[in-house]
């Protein structure tokens, strides 16, 4: 069992050029504000920790579908995300029934998995056994948001005071929407107040522009791998994908 890579997949999104063109044919002109109000972006976030998914679902103006822990078999679903601030080889002393030992982060993850599987093997329901699962355990969550709500999300979660994992996910999402809908997402309002945000917005714009022609050539329905790392220094391994419509 190994620490997993997070995948941010922009799976489906409004075809703005087509929307604008069709509405114009009907005599409706879309302003920038209209573009923010109409449209939807659906992300498949794979391999985020339960700690981060708990932060993500606090955003109420969004729709979510999260992988079930009750019905997905633990042997198939169990992964975890180790914060990079915790060294692989760091061990902490623990004591159980008078027996002392030293355990690493990975050891504890392995123990919780074994204990959960053990409970299931004795006939305990998965919905009860899963109470052993730690915050680091990874999950998959599908999230849909309007552009206006996404900008609010980016303003809060791309900021330097956001936690590293959700911040990595938010920047990866921002890169994906910048590629998919450049007319809708310009520089973030938060860039006016934060040098950190301003520099990253500029870097992402550069990276997106460089990869735009390759994205244009991607066959419809296929996923394009948007390379943001290593130029964007993520705190953990994150890969971004945009599905071409």
Please give the positions annotated as active site.
157
Pick the stretch among 54-62, 106-114, 204-212, 226-234 that binds ligand FAD (CB under 6 A): 54-62
Q: How far is the CB of 152 from ligand FAD (least distance, A)?
A: 5
Binding to ligand FAD, residues 195-234 (CB under 6 A): none
Q: Is 158 exposed, middle or buried (0-12, 13-18, 19+ CB in 10 A)?
A: buried
Binding to ligand FAD, residues 101-160 (CB under 6 A): 149, 152, 156
Closest CB to ligand FAD among residues 152, 198: 152
The 61-100 contact track toward ligand FAD, x by CB under 6 A, reads x---------------------------------------
Nearest-CB residue for ligand FAD: 60
Closest CB to ligand FAD among residues 26, 161: 161
DSSP string, 40-102: -EEEEEEEEEHHHHHHHTT--SSEEEE--TTTS-HHHH--B---TTS-TT-EEEEEETTEEEE
**Which of 33, 95, 161, 192 forms a contact with ligand FAD (CB under 6 A)?**
161
**Which of 15, 38, 42, 59 forms a contact with ligand FAD (CB under 6 A)?**
59
Locus of tokens 């659906």:
42
Closest CB to ligand FAD among residues 148, 244: 148
Nearest to 151 by CA among 132, 177, 112, 128: 177
DSSP 8-class letter at 26:
T
Does 36 interact with ligand FAD (rule: CB under 6 A)? no
Pick the stretch among 56-64, 90-98, 128-136, 233-241 that binds ligand FAD (CB under 6 A): 56-64
| The two three-digit tokens of residue 117, written as one number | 């599987």
Size of the site for ligand FAD (CB under 6 A): 9
Q: How far is the CB of 163 from ligand FAD (least distance, A)?
A: 7
What residue ranges bind ligand FAD (CB under 6 A)? 58-61, 149, 152, 156, 161-162
């Amino acid at each position: 069992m190994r620490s997993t890579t997070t995948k941010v997949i922009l799976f489906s999104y409004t075809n703005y050029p087509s929307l604008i063109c069709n509405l114009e044919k009907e005599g409706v002109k879309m302003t920038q504000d209209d573009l923010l109000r109409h449209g939807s972006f659906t992300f498949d976030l794979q391999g985020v920790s339960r700690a981060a998914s708990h932060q993500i679902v606090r955003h109420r103006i969004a729709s979510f579908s999260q992988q079930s822990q009750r019905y997905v078999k633990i042997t198939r679903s169990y992964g975890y995300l180790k914060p990079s601030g915790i060294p692989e080889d760091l061990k902490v002393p623990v004591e159980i029934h008078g027996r002392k030992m030293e355990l690493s982060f990975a050891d504890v993850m392995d123990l919780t998995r074994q204990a959960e599987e053990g409970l299931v093997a004795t006939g305990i329901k998965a919905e009860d056994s899963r109470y052993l699962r730690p915050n680091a355990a990874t999950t998959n969550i599908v999230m849909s948001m309007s552009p206006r709500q996404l900008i609010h999300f980016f303003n809060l979660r791309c900021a330097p005071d956001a936690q590293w994992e959700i911040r990595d996910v938010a920047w990866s999402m921002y890169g994906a929407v910048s590629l998919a809908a450049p007319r809708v997402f310009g520089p973030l309002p938060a860039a006016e107040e934060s040098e950190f945000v301003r520099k990253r917005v500029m870097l992402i714009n550069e990276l997106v522009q460089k990869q735009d022609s390759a994205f244009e050539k991607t066959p419809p329905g296929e996923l394009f791998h948007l390379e943001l790392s290593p130029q964007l220094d993520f705190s953990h391994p994150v890969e971004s994908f945009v599905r071409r419509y």
